[in-house]
Amino acid sequence: MGPKIKFTREQIIDAAFEIARAEGTDNVTMRKIAHRMGSSVAPIYVNFKSINELIEALIEKIADIGQQLIAEENTGSPFADIGRASIRFAMEYSVLFRDLVMKNSRYLKGYDEKVMPALIEEMKKDSDLEGFSEDKLKEILLKMRIFQLGLSVMAASGILSKDYDMKDLTDLLSSTADDVILSARLK
């Protein structure tokens, strides 16, 4: 009963994603999505009640991509993997990264709070971090989250010279991790 569906919910989100990736989530409009799909706005309103609902779904997709990047970085140390994934996200999706940090930080916050306890557990198994109290581990993690965020923002905002590539940034990240850990060791 009814014609075949030509435009799915997923296609709509994908189209929105491509626009957001290039222009930011603020520049995603119903008509732009429709134009990119070669449709009118009608199929969009069948799948989403409003533009807000659509943007909400889009933000979730963006967050999912962040997760996917983390899953791809798999060196066995989740601590370092998340750092690298964050920097990759900031470099490859700089516009979206800025959107996420600037206007949807609740996603970062929520993710942080969800992952932190697991990271602390991972840190306890790390031989480099043996003998530290739980509080000390938390302090180290906090400092590294802060550094990682600063580095990601710099990469996404073009504040850093273009000379820095992915390797330079991850080296900087691990060098600073060493600094923080070494200094904690000596106290």
Partner DNA sequence: TTCATTATATAACATTTGTTATATAATTAT
Partner DNA sequence: ATAATTATATAACAAATGTTATATAATGAA
Q: Which residues bind to DNA, rule: CB under 7 A?
A: 1-7, 27-32, 34, 38-43, 45-46, 50-52
Q: What's the one-letter identity of residue 160? A: L
Other CB atoms closer than 10 Å to residue 156's CB: what's the count?
24
Q: How many residues bind a copy of itself (CB under 8 A)?
A: 35
Query: Between residues 64 and 179, which has the closer beta carbon with respect to a copy of itself?
Result: 179
Minimum CB distance to DNA, residue 15 (Å): 12
- Which of the choices a copy of itself, DNA, none does residue 63 contact, using the CB cut-off of 5 to 8 A by kind? none
Query: Between residues 30 and 160, which has the closer beta carbon with respect to DNA?
Result: 30
**Start-to-end CA span in the chain (Å):** 73
Q: For residue 4, what is the DSSP state?
A: P
Q: What's the one-letter identity of residue 148? A: Q
Distances (CA, A) of 59 to 7, 9, 63, 99: 20, 14, 6, 9
Contact between 71 and a copy of itself by CB under 8 A: the answer reads no
Beta-carbon contacts of residue 60 (< 8 Å; ≥ 6 apart): none
Phi, psi of 180 (to 5 degrees): -65, -45
Minimum CB distance to DNA, residue 120 (Å): 41
Contact between 112 and a copy of itself by CB under 8 A: the answer reads yes
- Which of the choices DNA, a copy of itself, none does residue 180 contact, using the CB cut-off of 5 to 8 A by kind? a copy of itself
Give the tokens for residue 73.
């970085």
Residues that bind a copy of itself in the complex, under the rule CB under 8 A: 26, 98-99, 101-103, 105-106, 108-109, 112, 142-143, 145-151, 153-154, 157-159, 172, 175-176, 178-180, 182-184, 186
